[in-house]
Structure formats: structure tokens, C-alpha cells
């Protein structure tokens, strides 16, 4: 999706999958869960449960599990960037001053591991574990820091790729998209960066 402002405080990982395709993610997930390679997973379920009935519930549950903040996920990746962490320390030592931390170019690789329980008569009969892989490449990033929290973000360009897999089979993939982001985003609530 080119030339659209999409970065907001409320954007979650599930929204990002939808934005990058313009289609409903749930239907794409259901189709991916129909892959032949998942035959072993389907056979692991008790015989009285049909896989087609599981597909709908699993896709819906996975989308709920992807209600993870995009900004929070990115902030978690920034804490591994030593120059940024030095600026976070400086902002804690001078709490009355806003420090702008500039990152010319940076990539963040994140992996989430949500799972869905398949239940029968109140008991878990099978657990389906997913792997959600995200790659974000940023250029021209300015982070406003105060008291060890990110309070503002300005990002020139962002490229994003996402993939969801189950049982080592890719069931949904979004190829690299360039997202144009709004100029300066002042956060309603700061994102705390823990010092290692």
C-alpha cells in the first residue's frame, strides 16, 4: 500500500496484515489453514471435530491474538540498538529535557508465538501453535524521549514484511510493502523502554 499514512498509536499487528493487502485477513487465514501440508495437524484432532469447523474459529482466535501494538513491538526491537539505549539513559538522567534520538536506518526482526486451544466439552484436546514473523526496515527515524519513554515518533519511510506459519507451513504472507507514514506523531501515552 503506497502513499498512505498508517502509523497510529492504536495500530496492531492484525491491522498491519490487513493494510498491506487491502483484503480481509480472516478469509486469507482460513484459506491458508486448508493447505494440504497441514494434513498431519488435521489428523491430530479427535475424529468428531471436523477441520472445516475448526478453521473459522482458529482464524478468528488468531486475529484476536494479533491485537499486539505495532509501536510496542517496534519499541521492543529498538531496545537492542545501543546508541538509542544511551539516549534513553540520558533522558532518564535529565527528566525535564526532551531528547531526540536519530536512527538513520534500522531493521527489526520480531517473532510472536500465539496459540489457539481447540476445546471439547470444556477440555483442551489440541493446541495449535503459530509463528508470526515480522520484518520492519526504517529510514529516517526520529524518536522523542522523556524520562526513559518514547513520547513522539517521526519516520520517513518504512518497509514491512509479515508471515504467519503453523507446523512449519506458511499459511499467510505479506510481501514487502513501503508504507508512507505521517510526519510527526505525538503519543497520547509514552512507551517505556526498560534499561537492560
pLDDT tens track for 147-157: 999 999 887 78
Buried-exposed string 113-137: b where 16+ CB fall within 10 A, e elsewhere: ebebebeeeeeeeeebebebebebb
Distance CA 16, CA 74 (A): 13
Give the 3-state secondary structure of residue 6. coil
Has residue 6 been placed in a domain?
no
Has residue 139 been placed in a domain?
yes
Give the 3-state secondary structure of residue 171. strand
Mean pLDDT of 49-62: 84
Range ranked top by mean pLDDT from 10-14, 104-108, 130-134, 171-175: 130-134
Residue 66 DSSP symbol: T
Please, are residues 116 and 124 in contact by the beta-carbon 8 Å criterion? no
Has residue 2 been placed in a domain?
no
* pTM to 2 decimal places: 0.78
The total number of structural domains that make up the chain: 1
Q: Using one digit for the tens of pLDDT, what is the confidence trace for 103-145?
A: 878 888 989 999 988 888 888 888 889 999 999 888 888 899 9
Domain that holds residue 73: 13-192
Has residue 93 been placed in a domain?
yes
Give the 3-state secondary structure of residue 2. coil
Has residue 8 been placed in a domain?
no
Q: What's the residue count for the chain?
A: 196
Has residue 186 been placed in a domain?
yes
Has residue 145 been placed in a domain?
yes
Has residue 76 been placed in a domain?
yes
Amino acid at each position: 500500500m503506497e502513499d498512505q499514512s498508517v502509523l497510529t498509536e492504536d495500530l496492531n499487528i492484525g491491522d498491519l496484515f490487513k493494510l498491506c493487502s487491502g483484503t480481509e485477513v480472516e478469509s486469507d487465514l482460513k484459506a491458508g489453514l486448508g493447505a494440504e501440508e497441514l494434513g498431519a495437524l488435521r489428523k491430530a484432532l479427535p475424529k468428531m471435530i471436523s477441520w472445516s469447523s475448526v478453521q473459522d474459529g482458529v482464524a478468528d482466535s488468531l486475529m484476536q491474538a494479533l491485537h499486539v501494538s505495532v509501536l510496542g513491538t517496534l519499541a521492543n526491537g529498538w531496545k537492542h540498538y545501543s546508541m538509542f539505549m544511551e539516549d534513553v539513559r540520558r533522558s532518564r538522567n535529565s527528566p525535564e529535557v526532551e531528547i531526540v534520538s536519530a536512527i538513520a536506518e534500522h531493521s527489526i526482526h520480531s517473532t510472536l508465538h500465539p496459540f489457539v486451544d481447540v476445546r471439547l466439552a470444556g477440555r483442551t484436546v489440541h493446541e495449535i501453535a503459530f509463528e508470526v514473523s515480522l520484518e520492519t526496515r526504517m529510514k529516517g527515524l526520529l524518536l522523542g524521549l522523556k524520562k526513559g519513554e518514547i513520547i513522539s515518533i517521526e519516520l520517513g519511510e518504512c518497509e514491512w514484511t509479515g508471515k504467519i506459519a503453523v507446523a512449519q507451513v506458511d499459511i499467510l504472507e505479506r510481501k514487502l510493502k513501503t508504507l508512507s507514514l505521517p510526519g510527526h506523531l505525538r503519543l497520547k501515552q509514552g512507551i517505556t523502554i526498560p534499561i537492560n
